[in-house]
Amino acid sequence: MARPLSDQEKRKQISIRGIVGVENVAELKKGFNRHLHFTLVKDRNVATPRDYYFALAHTVRDHLVGRWIRTQQYYYEKDPKRVYYLSLEFYMGRTLQNTMINLGLQNACDEAIYQLGLDIEELEEIEEDAGLGNGGLGRLAACFLDSMATLGLAAYGYGIRYEYGIFNQKIRDGWQVEEADDWLRHGNPWEKARPEYMLPVHFYGRVEHTKNGAKWVDTQVVLALPYDTPVPGYMNNTVNTMRLWSARAPNDFNLRDFNVGDYIQAVLDRNVAENISRVLYPNDNFFEGKELRLKQEYFVVAATLQDIIRRYKASKFGSTDSVRTVFDSFPDQVAIQLNDTHPAMAIPELMRIFVDIEKLPWSKAWEITKKTFAYTNHTVLPEALERWPVDLMEKLLPRHLQIIYEINQRHLDRVSALFPSDVDRLRRMSLIEEGGIKRINMAHLCIVGSHAVNGVAKIHSDIVRTQVSCFNEAVAVSGCLKFCLLAPTWGSFVLSCRTDLNCLYANPGLLMAFLSEPRFKDFAELEPGKFQNKTNGITPRRWLLLCNPGLAELIAEKIGEDYVKDLSQLTKLHKFVNDDIFIREVSKVKQENKVKFAQFLEEEYKVKINPSSMFDVHVKRIHEYKRQLMNCLHIITMYNRIRRDPTKLFMPRTVIIGGKAAPGYHMAKMIIRLITSVAHVVNNDPVVGNKLKVIFLENYRVSLAEKVIPATDLSEQISTAGTEASGTGNMKFMLNGALTIGTMDGANVEMAEEAGEENLFIFGMRVEDVAELDKKGYNARDYYDKLPELKQVIDQIKGGFFSPKQPDLFKDVVNMLFHHDRFKVFADYEAYVKCQDKVSELYMNSKEWTKMVIRNIASSGKFSSDRTIKEYARDIWNVEPSDLKIPPPNVPRDVGEDKTSNDTTARSTAEKRKL
């Protein structure tokens, strides 16, 4: 139950979670009862917990809608430059609590629900996660929407309203089993269907070339129905919009079948169209070239660009000005950010609209297009990079293939003029890969069609700019890479390399295809000013105020509340590093979070957890490059040490690993199976007792992250150097007072710069060490032979110690580690184990550990998504964040004062600053 507040507290308490006042509480209770009345079915007198949740959600939404309308009216009248964030994923999680916090209603809602005899935490748990993303890329998009609204940018998120989000993961007999995530089955109180803005999207057909230009005819039409979700900024009354498209078949879809009597089949065929928005592809850092996926990618950009152009052309609200018909000012009014290559088809689609429909000359259309688009690259893993077969594109989007060919020809003409006779450079920089199956390289298309390209951490951006190729030449030099002759893609190599192997060099066509992976270095040499870095960030509203209110309030007591919108103010905490009272308070908040999470684990997993043990947490998508396997090897090493000498002092640990494996990713599923097998042995060994416990968190998602992150002592960020683009989980843990054990990879590098490398546990190879090892040749057996503890661990796994009923269960894992480990687990094992020993030693000194925690929190201000968005706004989108606080619905509209408007004047200021 929420704690009841005294009358004095109700009058006086003003907090970062909102004001508690008698009037606020009374109004919320009245609204709750009204919505509960309408929610109940007439013939049912007893409300269910879900009825209570919906009543509360609708009550909070009432406070949101007026601000939403006000914000959109303001944008319509002021006509600022608008930012459009295109992403196939928005991993939003739950909305209720985040909305209450951003509107300043959290404390008032707590009190109102308490007075009604209900538990607000129980109601919050009823809400389904909007699992419309796989991992970091989708969660980043969600954080960015929060920051864009908080910074007063006229911004819109565009994506797909997947009927089924990321699958629900069940662990059965140690194996991952996928269940459909039917997140909309009870309805979604936060969305609003907008059928008045439904738009047609075309597929298939053919192209006719006439004297008036190209015409795309005989197409199949699918309708895009938009659903709008409000995105509130923090305490500024700004509410932006996330618009997600749902596929609908037109009424006459395949009705020609009806004319010959097959009416039933005609109706059933509607599913073919509506399947486009049915389900999210559950792959992270893995490209799967299916026709449905390409349909999804084109569907979202085609609908979105029609919407953008409609909004661009519209006259101002209440104005007699004519509708815009000239596109010269389009880049001054529109900025489109491509979140990875998934929305890359927006580039040829905008060219099609400009050239075929608006009849602009090619050169003018291309100039406008390049100035409008910017591209964020999220990975250097070759299996994650999209390369669509030309044959598929020709069938599905024939006009777009012609446009891509034209873009490529003009691009290569330019390269040829600058680098005459360099045929190899032309091949490397072509948008069309000729080796093997002809494919379109979507990363190349994004680079050529954008005015700015950014990586998401300094080290990642440097790799994107300077690396000769994304992976292949290093492994080719090593001579150890094998490739199944039947595997058409890197992805299928990863899945098939366990079986019937043949040398890559035996197939020159495949070798040519894979050596033509994106070489961004060539593009950086051509246009060096195009490439930038924008280090990722996280929203402190969800990842501190919402999930860790105790720590958020403690910080506010010390440095004030302004840090919530300016996280750099956390540096003020440095002066409290040696303050004994503050040290105790920080330690107390962490312990309270651990006790609460330990209770949750005991309820869910029936394992007794010691809250005083170190909570060692590794939660993220399961992938070989993230090296959950190395963590597992360390768990077994600790287990063996305890069994070897049970009387020796050992710092108790609770190791928590969680994450989902892509359903078709065999090795990731085997890693989960190994972890659960090890957990079963460790947790049931009486010799070990409470010294070591291992938990695999089932169905890891945003709402579960909000529970585990505040309770974490040690954050595992142990990817092979040069493989993680950035990571954002590492930032969430840092902000919430966990210490990081990690490699110099992704944003870990900048975290070490901010906090000092001595305040993180850094181990293992650096990027240059990995490259050197690749040249020399990585031989896993060398490490196995020289490290006795490693040898014991591998022999146990291989011999069936953890799978006695199936001794050969993990032979694929062992075989991969010895012969096909691209991510070099054995090479970093010794350094990792020694670093973990240092972790245990420091954790025994509670005071010194907490001092390091405070230094990390005080150094985490850089990693706010507010900072990231400010950099995007000023360096890429050419807009200025606004301090405007739009008046709430009960205040006259002319009260608000825009201190830093992001209209034309502000853009001029930004341009002057650049000059």
Q: ∠ CA 736-850-578 to the nearest 5 degrees?
A: 120
- 395 flagged as catalytic: no
Q: ∠ CA 417-421-425 to the nearest 5 degrees?
A: 80
Instruction: Tell whether the model's pLDDT for residue 503 goes beyond 70.
Output: no
Q: Residues 34-46: what's their mean pLDDT?
A: 74
- Lowest mean pLDDT of 492-501, 665-674, 760-769, name the range: 492-501
Question: For the chain, what are the domain ranges?
Answer: 610-846
Convert 867-904 to b/e letters by CB count within 10 Å (16 or more is b). bbbbbbbebbbbbbbbebbbbeeeeeeeebebeebbbe
Helix (H, G, I), strand (E, B) or coil at 274: helix
Q: What is the pLDDT of residue 901?
A: 41
DSSP code for 422: -
Cite the beta strand spans of 142-276 per DSSP E. Answer: 155-160, 168-172, 175-179, 192-193, 199-203, 206-210, 213-217, 220-232, 239-248
Q: What is the pLDDT of residue 284?
A: 84
Instruction: Tell whether the model's pLDDT for residue 264 goes beyond 80.
Output: no
735 burial (CB, 10 Å; 0-12 / 13-18 / 19+) is buried
Q: Residues 881-894: what's their mean pLDDT?
A: 84
Instruction: Tell whether the model's pLDDT for residue 690 goes beyond 60.
Output: yes
Q: Residues 172-199: what's their mean pLDDT?
A: 97
Instruction: Tell whether the model's pLDDT for residue 794 goes beyond 60.
Output: yes
Report pLDDT digits (tens) over 546-566. Answer: 999 999 999 999 999 999 999
Catalytic option among 728, 740, 743, 850: 728
Average pLDDT in the chain: 90
Nearest to 134 by CA among 169, 93, 89: 89
pTM for the structure as a whole: 0.92
- Beta carbons of 335 and 83 less than 8 angstroms apart: yes
Q: What is the pLDDT of residue 39?
A: 72
DSSP 753-817: HHH-GGGSEE-S--HHHHHHHHHH---HHHHHHH-HHHHHHHHHHHHTTT-TTSTTTTHHHHHHH
Residues in the chain: 915
Quote the CATH superfamily of domain 610-846.
Glycogen Phosphorylase B; (3.40.50.2000)
- Beta carbons of 166 and 133 less than 8 angstroms apart: yes
SS (H, E, C) 469-538: CCCHHHHHHHCCCEECCCCCCHHHHHHHCCCCCEEHHHCHHHHHHHCCCCCHHHHHHHCHHHEEECCCCE
Report pLDDT digits (tens) over 732-783. Answer: 999 999 999 999 999 999 999 999 999 999 999 999 999 999 999 999 999 9
Catalytic option among 399, 465, 621, 855: 621
Q: What is the pLDDT of residue 457?
A: 96
DSSP 839-902: HHHHHTSHHHHHHHHHHHHHT-GGGBHHHHHHHHIIIII--------PPPTTS-GGG---TT--
Instruction: Tell whether the model's pLDDT for residue 909 goes beyond 50.
Output: no
- 669 flagged as catalytic: no
Task: Name the pLDDT band for 41 (thresholds 50, 70, 90).
Answer: low
Q: What is the pLDDT of residue 905?
A: 40
Q: Residues 589-600: what's their mean pLDDT?
A: 98
Q: What is the pLDDT of residue 320?
A: 58
Instruction: Tell whether the model's pLDDT for residue 494 goes beyond 70.
Output: no
Task: Name the pLDDT band for 641 (thresholds 50, 70, 90).
Answer: very high
Q: Residues 538-544: what's their mean pLDDT?
A: 98
Q: What is the pLDDT of residue 622?
A: 98
Q: What is the pLDDT of residue 317?
A: 59
Catalytic option among 626, 673, 701, 855: 626
C-alpha distances (whole Å) from 423 to each of 35, 276, 324, 441, 524 are 69, 40, 44, 18, 18
Catalytic option among 17, 399, 400, 732: 732
Q: Residues 793-818: what's their mean pLDDT?
A: 98
- 12 flagged as catalytic: no
847 burial (CB, 10 Å; 0-12 / 13-18 / 19+) is exposed
Q: Residues 204-232: what's their mean pLDDT?
A: 96
In the chain, % of residues over pLDDT 90: 80
Q: Residues 479-506: what's their mean pLDDT?
A: 37
- Beta carbons of 372 and 336 less than 8 angstroms apart: yes
Catalytic option among 17, 61, 243, 378: 378
Provide the token pair at 632. 């597992």
| Alpha carbons 884 and 306: distance in angstroms, whole number | 29
| Alpha carbons 314 and 324: distance in angstroms, whole number | 7
| Alpha carbons 700 and 697: distance in angstroms, whole number | 6
- 620 flagged as catalytic: yes
**Bigger pLDDT: 16 vs 802:** 802
Report pLDDT digits (tens) over 435-464. Answer: 889 999 999 999 999 999 999 999 999 999
Catalytic option among 428, 620, 634, 660: 620
- 161 flagged as catalytic: no
Q: How many CB atoms lie within 10 A of CB 285?
A: 26
- 893 flagged as catalytic: no
Give the list of residues 6+ apart from residue 779 with CB closer than 8 angstroms, or none.
none
Residue for token pair 């196939």: 88
Helix (H, G, I), strand (E, B) or coil at 715: strand
Instruction: Tell whether the model's pLDDT for residue 50 goes beyond 50.
Output: yes
